[in-house]
Amino acid sequence: MEEFSDERLARLTGMLKRRGVILPAFEIHGGAAGLYDFGPVGGRLRNRVNQTWVDHWQSLGNVVEISCPTVTPYSVLEASGHVGEFSDFLTECKGCGAPSRADHLVEEFHPNAESLSRDELTSLIKTHNPPCPSCSDSSWGPVEAQNLMFNTKIGAGASGRQAFLRPETAQGMFTSFTSIYRHFRERLPFGAIQTGKGYRNEISPRQGMIRLREFNMAELEYFIDPEVEPNHDFSIWTDNVMLISEESGEIKTTFGEAVTAGIIRHPTVGYFMAWTMDFLGKVGINPKHLRFRQHESDEMAHYAQDCWDAEILGSYGWVECVGIAHRGCYDLSAHEEATGQKLRAWRTFPEPKLVEIDGWTIDGAKAGPAFRSLAGRVKEIVEGLPADSTFPLSLDIDGQSVEVLSEHVKRVQRSENVNGEWFVPHVVEPAFGIDRIIWHLLDHCYVETEKSGESYTLLSLPELVSPVDVTVLPLFEKDGMGDLAQKIHRDLCGRRNVFSSYDASGSIGRRYARADEIGVPWCITVDHESLVDGSVTLRSRDSGEQTRVLISDLPF
Amino acid sequence: MEEFSDERLARLTGMLKRRGVILPAFEIHGGAAGLYDFGPVGGRLRNRVNQTWVDHWQSLGNVVEISCPTVTPYSVLEASGHVGEFSDFLTECKGCGAPSRADHLVEEFHPNAESLSRDELTSLIKTHNPPCPSCSDSSWGPVEAQNLMFNTKIGAGASGRQAFLRPETAQGMFTSFTSIYRHFRERLPFGAIQTGKGYRNEISPRQGMIRLREFNMAELEYFIDPEVEPNHDFSIWTDNVMLISEESGEIKTTFGEAVTAGIIRHPTVGYFMAWTMDFLGKVGINPKHLRFRQHESDEMAHYAQDCWDAEILGSYGWVECVGIAHRGCYDLSAHEEATGQKLRAWRTFPEPKLVEIDGWTIDGAKAGPAFRSLAGRVKEIVEGLPADSTFPLSLDIDGQSVEVLSEHVKRVQRSENVNGEWFVPHVVEPAFGIDRIIWHLLDHCYVETEKSGESYTLLSLPELVSPVDVTVLPLFEKDGMGDLAQKIHRDLCGRRNVFSSYDASGSIGRRYARADEIGVPWCITVDHESLVDGSVTLRSRDSGEQTRVLISDLPF
């Protein structure tokens, strides 16, 4: 098992930069904190991890992919709660003016500084007077909430409309709910996924890929009927996993047992935890460095019914990489309320119900002329009033005051056979930080060893995500070996899902080492014999084994 | 061949929205002009077109994918010229205050209004007094240049740093040049591709998917040595294509002939035009609706040596969907100049050259103490001076004035054997507007026909990009047919690169029609017989043919 250390981290980071896997963005222009590039090797790794994620969740059979804009109007993120809530506490150094996150300043004085209130942070800073990370001064301004969204404007000049870069992809699934519901022919459960950029204007980004200002996200919003008991089969997950539950602390058990015991509070949350573990294993996360931690009640959003983080152990300690939350009906209800549009699903009763209706409606003949264009809105409101309402009644409709007199309304009392009802579906959301996962799979697959007395490193990446499938190496470029190697290389590049590279510099041993360093699972060497009998040497990264195969029999 | 008309366009747009292919974004919140969603059907179409593009260019064998941030510091886009140049001319209506693009207001009075200068636009507006599209008033304010980038800030509070959302993906390839050059072991030619979001804060977005504020881009930057004659094989493209060249007007010829005749001015430009045509054909663009138009000299950026647009004919007329430009050394030189970093490649001479060196260097003993920290910069400048320079000489280094006296310098005259030289590579760039291409492939594949006297539509999408590969239909859901159909559906969803959907509502005929409407190439029907002998009906969208096959023999 890997031994994580700061020295190993420095070597790994250096290799990732040197080989073009992950590197600070815009470095020739002085860089920009919290922004990273996936370079000539990392770009394909990112693409494959992303595509593996999409395929993984689509294989559920009732999940579709959508793609929405990142620029998001103010009203959408006001409705979702992000305008009001998505913030960190910031304080400015009185010496140099540099802003710091208040919780970062006091994290050595509190085990969970992120959860502290503004007053608690203010008092801790007063007590301990931490030094400014920029100038070492210890004099701090007031602690203020700072919204973390990137601001922008849609449209030109004075008519520009305030907007943000999305802090998550999830809102697109909620605002498109109607279209997705129609697509699934109005049958729950179903899900929609989206991958793409999310943004968070961090006050002080740090820890490499862990805390980015622009990041790759991947989220599933899975819509369910809260009255239908899910019927998930947990029997295929027989291994124990490490759970840290709110009530029981650290336990080792199976997902099925944890659901049965009520430790995981909803079966679909448990089911997606298991699917999450499977995904992480596929892309190269070491399952021994994985645990699931349940949010404490005071840590969880008020509307959430249960929430588990998949945490991965690596060079930065345990890091939250996935959150799996039961969000209840919060999101759809919030957009309903903000827009007046119904975001509901229909539930047919097993058999029709006789319902007593006792309430009010408007008397069209009198209400129509009285309220004119507002008559429809008045009707809607009146029909929602309880039976014991009294009139006259004052309503406020979009800022207009309306007086409803008793002559405008009629009492309604009748029995009705009802076949079903509209309800707001509940949502279970697995949300993935793709950059953090890529960081950790690199961290887990990075192996430092020795070869002939010299240090030797390799990336033991799963073939599914390795950035290069195969490297073609001519022993020499002369005598037609270079041409034949190029031909094989080009031919492999033309195959679907195969990416080959070509390397002709240095000894074969050096080139094997170069391929191992970035995790290429296979090398093909073209030599003099190849020109005669069409055979090449196929060498495996993992076993080091070399076999002679015909070009026509290459397993790609 | 399709007959494009406004009525057909309205029906197509309606279908795309109803079926969840492409729809206005954030509609429940009142929408936002220029922003679109790819819905539950379109999301997968977008993904597949994107991935097909990546695979297409990677199959060249010397092209790698990278992925850079969309949030881009000011200095990067200042260096690239976007801060100064990326703008449209805007004028505001004096009546209602709504901004309009000046060229849009006069486009019926000029064949190429987009290319007009500010004075020409002002004068045309004065002459014709076009009405405001919002209020019909005809009184206009001054014509002003308006930068089209979305503004934002990196970092919190007063220390935030000005930034933009990238207007193109290309800059990432230039700022990462060094890493890509190293990856290819310093051997030209090579290319880097990137797909992802680009942003353009349009003054007045219109024409559906054609003019978006946030769009999907895909660009290749291909770096070449301008002194090496490319050796492309054009023999596989034997068909004539429609070219509109600057000098010869509309001609039909092959790519190879057009390069030989000098109509296409650089072979690599011609080669990528051919690769572009192949890509467009793969994803469903009708080649009869494709032409390549060469930019006029006054339309082309001043640094470009040749530029061709791939234009596609559809419901909005001929629309530019791809630009293939020879950009010379402009981009790398611009970043070199702004950052002082060398973005160069090494060219080894066929044999060493004896070079006479006649110039200047500094006399360290005297210049060191005189210029202190600036001594290095002074040396660099002095060594670049011509032999006939005279001293004293005044230099301006980052705003500091420096006086170089004759005692600070020494004449250098000697012969030297030189093995090669550093040079700035040239760039050929194919840049794709993915949304415009998706729009046009839908437009080309949308077929309106009749079936049993009723109107019937289908999308004849290539299998490579169709959003759903196969739909599984139980004849009825009872008697185990639903379960078997679900089993087949889930099993197909679990296969790599296969996406299945399940549909149990309505008659089989209705369900075939629903599948045809979104271009599903295959339907599988599960009936009573299936339960007995494990066979199903496989029906082809294109031929309508139905065959009976065993479940184990399904061709997916």
Q: List, as ranges, residues 73-102 from A with C-beta within 8 Å of B.
A: 73, 75-76, 79, 90, 92, 97-99
Residues B57 and B133 in one domain: no
With contacts defined as CB-CB under 8 Å, which chain A residues touch B165?
71, 152, 165
Task: Say which CATH number the domain at B518 has.
Answer: 3.40.50.800
Residue that the structure tokens 């599914």 belong to: A464
Residues B121 and B202 in one domain: no
Domain for residue B82, yes or no? no
Q: Is the pLDDT of residue B1 over 60?
A: no
- pLDDT for residue B2: 54
pTM recorded for the entire structure = 0.91
Domain for residue B138, yes or no? yes
- CA distance to partner chain A, nearest, from residue B405 (Å): 33
The ipTM is 0.90
Nearest to A410 by CA among A470, A460, A360, A366: A360
State what percent of residues in chain B have pLDDT above 70. 99
State both tokens at B54.
């990546």
DSSP 8-state symbol, A140: B
Residues B290 and B340 in one domain: yes
Judged by CB atoms closer than 8 Å, whether chains meet at B65 and A44 is answered as yes
Q: Is the pLDDT of residue B100 over 90?
A: no
Q: Which residue has the higher pLDDT, B29 or A96?
A: B29
- pLDDT for residue B372: 86
With a cut of 50, which residues of chain A have pLDDT below it?
A: 1
Task: Answer whether the bond into residue A555 is a cis peptide, omega within 30°.
Answer: no
Alpha helices in B384-480 (DSSP H): 434-445
**Three-state SS for B363?**
coil
- pLDDT for residue A2: 55
Judged by CB atoms closer than 8 Å, whether chains meet at B154 and A76 is answered as no
Mean pLDDT of B225-237: 95
Band of the pLDDT at B213, cuts 50, 70, 90?
very high
With contacts defined as CB-CB under 8 Å, which chain A residues touch B98?
159
φ, ψ for residue B307 (rounded to 5)? -155, 130
- pLDDT for residue A400: 83
Domain for residue A354, yes or no? yes
φ, ψ for residue A503 (rounded to 5)? -140, 120
With contacts defined as CB-CB under 8 Å, which chain B residues touch A58?
493, 499
Cα separation, B443 vs B36, in Å, equals 17
Cα separation, B205 vs B208, in Å, equals 8
Select the residue from B63, B67, B164, B424 to test the A interface by mutation, using most A Cβ atoms within 10 A.
Answer: B67
User: Mind giving me the DSSP string for A209-221?
Assistant: GGS-SEEEEEEEE
Q: Does B461 touch chain A (CB under 8 A)?
A: no
Residue range B261-274, pLDDT digits in tens: 999 999 999 999 99
With contacts defined as CB-CB under 8 Å, which chain B residues touch A70?
70, 197, 214
Q: Does B69 touch chain A (CB under 8 A)?
A: yes
User: Mind giving me the DSSP string for B88-153?
Assistant: EEEEEBTTT--EEEHHHHTGGG-TTGGG--HHHHHHHHHHH-PPPTTT----B---EEEE-SPEEE
- Please give the tally of structural domains in chain A: 3
Contact A166, A70 (CB under 8 A): yes
Residues B275 and B362 in one domain: no
With contacts defined as CB-CB under 8 Å, which chain B residues touch A46?
67
Q: Is the pLDDT of residue B488 over 80?
A: yes
Q: List, as ranges, residues 243-302 from A with C-beta within 8 Å of B.
A: none
Judged by CB atoms closer than 8 Å, whether chains meet at B71 and A35 is answered as yes
- pLDDT for residue B208: 86
Domain for residue B413, yes or no? yes
Q: Does A522 touch chain B (CB under 8 A)?
A: no
Judged by CB atoms closer than 8 Å, whether chains meet at B28 and A341 is answered as yes
Mean pLDDT of B409-426: 93
Q: What is the dihedral of CA A432, A433, A434, A436, to 10 degrees?
A: -130
Residue that finishes a domain, picked among A406, A421, A436: A421
Contact A167, A149 (CB under 8 A): yes
Q: Nearest by CB to A28, which of B36, B62, B175?
A: B175
Mean pLDDT for chain B overall = 93
Residues B233 and B340 in one domain: yes
Domain for residue B159, yes or no? no
Tell me which residue range forms the domain holding A500.
Answer: 468-553
- CA distance to partner chain A, nearest, from residue B33 (Å): 9
Residues B511 and B526 in one domain: yes
In angstroms, the first-to-last Cα distance of chain A is: 31
Please give the single-letter amino acid code of residue A235.
Answer: S
Judged by CB atoms closer than 8 Å, whether chains meet at B75 and A99 is answered as no
Q: Nearest by CB to B61, which of A73, A161, A502?
A: A502
Residues B321 and B270 in one domain: yes
Cα separation, A163 vs B157, in Å, equals 17
Q: Mark residue B544 as left, alpha or beta (left: phi above 0; alpha: psi -120 to 50; beta: remaining).
A: left
Q: Nearest by CB to B43, which of A39, A65, A76?
A: A65
Contact A29, A35 (CB under 8 A): no
- pLDDT for residue A350: 92
Tell me the C-alpha to C-alpha distance, in Å, between residue B65 and each of A492, A523, B28, B191, B338.
17, 21, 37, 9, 25
Cα separation, A528 vs A547, in Å, equals 16
φ, ψ for residue B114 (rounded to 5)? -60, -25
Domain for residue B173, yes or no? yes
Q: Is the pLDDT of residue B178 over 90?
A: yes
Residues B257 and B312 in one domain: yes
Q: Is the pLDDT of residue B349 over 90?
A: yes
Domain for residue A547, yes or no? yes
In angstroms, the first-to-last Cα distance of chain B is: 31
- CA distance to partner chain B, nearest, from residue A182 (Å): 8
Residue that the structure tokens 């999310």 belong to: A198
Residues B432 and B476 in one domain: no
Neighbours of A329 (CB within 10 A): 18
Q: Does B15 touch chain A (CB under 8 A)?
A: no
Task: Say which CATH number the domain at A125 has.
Answer: 3.30.40.230
With contacts defined as CB-CB under 8 Å, which chain A residues touch B517?
none
Residues A472 and A548 in one domain: yes
Residues B42 and B185 in one domain: yes
Task: Say which CATH number the domain at B57 has.
Answer: 3.30.930.10
Select the residue from B55, B65, B215, B344 to test the A interface by mutation, using most A Cβ atoms within 10 A.
Answer: B65
Q: Does A201 touch chain B (CB under 8 A)?
A: yes
The helix (H) or strand (E) run that includes residue B412 is strand B409-423
Select the residue from A64, A78, A186, A231 to test the B interface by mutation, using most B Cβ atoms within 10 A.
Answer: A64
Residues B480 and B443 in one domain: no
Tell me the C-alpha to C-alpha distance, in Å, between residue A253 and each of A230, A397, B300.
21, 55, 66
* Closest residue of chain A to B159, computed from CA coordinates: A98
